[in-house]
Structure 1
Amino acid sequence: MAQAAALVSAVATAVVLAGSPASAAGGFWATGCQDGRACIYLSHLRVGGMWWNVDGCGDHPIQDYYRSATAHGNPFNVVYVNGTWDRVNPWTTRPLDPNNLVTQVIVLC
C-alpha cells in the first residue's frame, strides 16, 4: 500500500511539472516573456521553458512557485497562498518569494 501511494505521488508530481501550473488557465510556457504579456518565472527547473506567459486581463489561477515576474505591458499582482501579494509595474521585472506558493496572477487593465 505504501509503495502504491509513493508511486501515485511521484506520477502526480511529474504531471504538474510537465504541464501548465496546476489550475492555471489562459497562458502558455515559453523560454522568455513575450511582448504585451504578464510573465512569471518558475523557481524550479522545467524543460521547454520556464516563463509562464499570461493571456489577457483579470484573474488567472496559478498553483506553483516562482522566483521573478516581468510586466511587458499592463501592471499585475502576484498573490500568494498566505494572502500577501507583489505588484509588478508596467515594463519592469521584480523578484518574487520563491518559497511562497503563488495562487493567482491578477492582470490590471
Structure 2
Amino acid sequence: MRPISRFAAWATTLATAVGATVILAGGPAAAAGGYWSNSCDPGRACIKLSGGRSGPGGQIWNFDGCGYHTINDFYDYGYAHGNPFDVHYADRSSDRVQSWSNRGLDSGNRVTGVTVLC
C-alpha cells in the first residue's frame, strides 16, 4: 500500500506544478480577438506580459475590437493607443487605462478579462 500512497502523493504534486505552470504560461494567445506583437499598434488597446515573459509574437497582446475579452495571465502594463479600456483582476478589482495613455498594472494579480470601451 505504501508504494501506491507515494505514487499518489507524487502525482498530486506533479499535477499541482503543471497546473501552476499552465496559469503562468497561459495567456490570451488562445483567445479570439487579438494578436501578440513587440509593440502596441495604432488604434489598439494592449497589455504587456509581466516578468519579462513573451507570447509567440512578442510581449504585448493587441486587442481586436470593442467589448469584453477573456484573459488568464499576469500583466504589468497597459497601453491605450485609441479607446480606453478596463482591466479586470481575479480579486474582482479593476484598473482603467484612459485613451491615449499608458499605465502600470497590478502584476501580482491575475488578469481575467479586459473590456475595450467604444
- TM-score normalised by the shorter chain: which range applies? 0.7 to 0.9
Structure 2 unaligned residues grouped into runs of 5+? 1-7
Change (3 A) 1:30 1:64: same
1:34 equivalent among 36, 41, 48: 41
1:88 aligns with 2:97: yes
Q: Which residue of 1 aligns with 2:3?
A: none
Change (3 A) 1:19 1:64: closer
Alpha carbon RMSD of aligned pairs, Å?
2.3
Give how far 1:37 is off: 0.5
Runs (4+) off by over 4 Å: 1-20
SS at match of 1:56: coil
Q: Which residue of 1 aligns with 2:72?
A: 63
Change (3 A) 1:69 1:34: same
Pick the structure with greater CA Rg: 2
* Percent identity (aligned): 53
1:17-49: CA deviation from partner (whole Å, max 9, x where unpaired): 666437632111100100010000110333451
Distance in structure 2 (CA, Å) of the matches to 1:16 and 1:103: 11
Amino acid at match of 1:30: S
Preserved contact between residue 27 and residue 73 of structure 2 (Cα < 8 Å): no
1:51 equivalent among 60, 64, 87: 60
**Count of residues paired in the alignment:** 109
Preserved contact between residue 69 and residue 93 of structure 1 (Cα < 8 Å): yes
Higher helix share: 2
Preserved contact between residue 24 and residue 73 of structure 2 (Cα < 8 Å): no
2:84 equivalent among 72, 75, 95: 75
Structure 1 unaligned residues grouped into runs of 5+? none
Amino acid at match of 2:100: W
TM (norm. structure 2) is 0.76
